[in-house]
């Protein structure tokens, strides 16, 4: 069982990641879909997307090869984007691609902002080098 402080930290980080990811999806959708895209839609899409993609990833990984399963999961993600923002397949692909770019831009901007005020940006621990012999 996780200590309560670890659980609280996990929840805070999870919500922060959700809000930042939804922000990148919102910016991308606003560029592609225009004023039809709203931040609450992006929040809902990322929340529903995590659940649906997680379930389908497990199911499709068991049924198909990782490449085919990954491709089918990506198609499901595009279908979710298409449904939430009323775009075509090409528009959904544009939103997905632009959202990744926007997420990188937001994360770099956050890292820069944290560095300016003296807060080290959180990063995963570095594992020791692998021993081959």
Encode pLDDT of 13-40 as tens digits: 889 899 999 999 999 999 999 888 999 9
Q: How far apart are CA 72 and CA 68, in angstroms?
A: 6
Largest CA distance in the chain: 58
Q: How far apart are CA 2 and CA 67, in angstroms?
A: 35
Give the chain's mean pLDDT.
86
Whether residue 102 is predicted with pLDDT greater than 90 in this model: the reply is yes
């Amino acid at each position: 069982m996780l200590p309560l402080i670890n659980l609280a930290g996990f929840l805070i980080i999870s919500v922060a990641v959700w809000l930042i990811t939804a922000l990148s999806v919102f910016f991308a959708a606003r560029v592609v879909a225009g004023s039809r895209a709203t931040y609450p839609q992006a929040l809902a899409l990322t929340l529903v997307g995590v659940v649906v993609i997680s379930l389908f990833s497990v199911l499709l990984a068991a049924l198909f090869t990782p490449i085919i399963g990954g491709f089918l999961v990506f198609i499901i993600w595009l279908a979710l984007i298409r449904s939430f923002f009323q775009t075509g397949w090409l528009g959904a692909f544009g939103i997905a691609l632009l959202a990744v770019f926007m997420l990188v831009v937001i994360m770099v901007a956050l890292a820069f902002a944290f560095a300016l005020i003296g807060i080290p940006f959180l990063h995963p621990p570095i594992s020791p080098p692998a021993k081959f012999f």
